[in-house]
């Protein structure tokens, strides 16, 4: 299929998990893509897997000045941009009493502040029409204990799809979001738990999903392809829940 034929796309956090699978599917749909990441190992692995048809850029999602450099690199490579998938993000789960200001700021810098200023930096080169898809989370809806800061950061992104949709639709820019439930990605391995505790946490989370399983990265990527494509031209300011029914509880 060629639903994204001729489209120029940027995927942040595109070297692992949902971002990498979305890159694969964008390429299969005919897009010209760039992906970002920070880990040298995953950057190199993505270069090898995606091949010469993809531009792989080291870029820190939390660095506001870096967003301008990234926009400049995209402008030089592609001349413009049709699709932005804001996927880079981190999660940290702990009770209210354990939070400190540096950890709070880190979550917001990566999940909210960086993406906001990336969109701003890309405005001059975003095509008309263009599609922006934000990766948010079911956690913003369900009140899961110990997820307060992570959930709040994702709720901020969900607010942006509405406010920026109203602001940018006249410019031909659509904003929408995918809100995944628990997905089988490396994200959970980065939470700092021991292997034993991680299994217990994963089993506990899975028990909250009516579908009885973690989602697959391909299930999110397929939804992003739809929202990025012209098939979703009338879809504006929407949030697509892909959570196995978790948000219904």
pLDDT digits (tens, 9 = 90+) for 68-119: 999 999 999 999 999 999 999 999 999 999 999 999 999 999 999 999 999 9
3-class secondary-structure state, position 239: strand
**Bridge partners, residue 101, by sequence:** none
Superfamily of domain 8-240: NAD(P)-binding Rossmann-like Domain (3.40.50.720)
For residue 126, pLDDT beyond 70 = yes
* Closest C-alpha to 3, from 25, 35, 33, 34: 25
> Both tokens of residue 67?
């967003």
pLDDT value for 199: 65
- Output the pLDDT for position 187: 54
Q: Tell me if residue 108 is catalytic.
A: no
- pTM beyond 0.85, yes or no: yes
Burial class of residue 52, CB neighbours in 10 A (0-12, 13-18, 19+):
exposed
Write the pLDDT tens digit of every residue in 9-65. Answer: 999 999 999 999 999 999 999 999 999 999 999 999 999 999 988 999 999 999 999
Catalytic residue among 108, 150, 188, 234: 150
Q: Centre a 10 Å sphere on the Cβ of residue 134 and count the other Cβ atoms it contains.
A: 24
How large is the average pLDDT for residues 140-167? 96
Average pLDDT, the chain: 93
Among 199, 223, 160, 163, which residue's Cα sits nearest to residue 22? 223
């Amino acid at each position: 299929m060629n639903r994204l034929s001729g489209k120029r796309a940027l995927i942040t956090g595109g070297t692992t998990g949902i971002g990498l699978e979305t890159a694969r599917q964008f390429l299969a749909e005919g897009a010209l893509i760039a992906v970002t990441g920070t880990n040298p190992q995953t950057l190199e692995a993505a270069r090898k897997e995606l091949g010469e048809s993809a531009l792989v850029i080291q870029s820190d999602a939390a660095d506001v000045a870096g967003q301008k450099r990234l926009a400049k690199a995209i402008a030089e490579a592609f001349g413009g941009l049709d699709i932005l998938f804001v996927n880079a993000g981190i999660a940290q789960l702990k009770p209210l009493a354990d939070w400190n200001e540096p950890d709070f700021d880190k979550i917001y810098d990566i999940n909210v502040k960086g993406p906001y200023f990336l969109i701003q930096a890309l405005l001059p080169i975003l095509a008309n029409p263009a599609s922006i898809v934000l990766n948010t989370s079911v956690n913003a809806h369900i009140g899961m204990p110990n997820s307060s800061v992570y959930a709040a950061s994702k709720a901020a992104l969900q607010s942006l799809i509405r406010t920026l949709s109203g602001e940018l639709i006249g410019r031909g820019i659509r904003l929408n979001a995918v809100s995944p439930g628990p997905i089988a990605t490396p994200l959970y391995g980065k939470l700092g738990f021991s292997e034993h505790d991680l299994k217990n946490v994963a089993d506990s989370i899975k028990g909250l999903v009516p579908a009885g399983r973690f989602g697959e990265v391909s299930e999110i990527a397929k939804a992003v392809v739809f929202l990025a494509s012209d098939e979703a031209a009338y879809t504006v300011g929407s949030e697509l829940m892909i959570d196995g029914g978790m948000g219904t509880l």
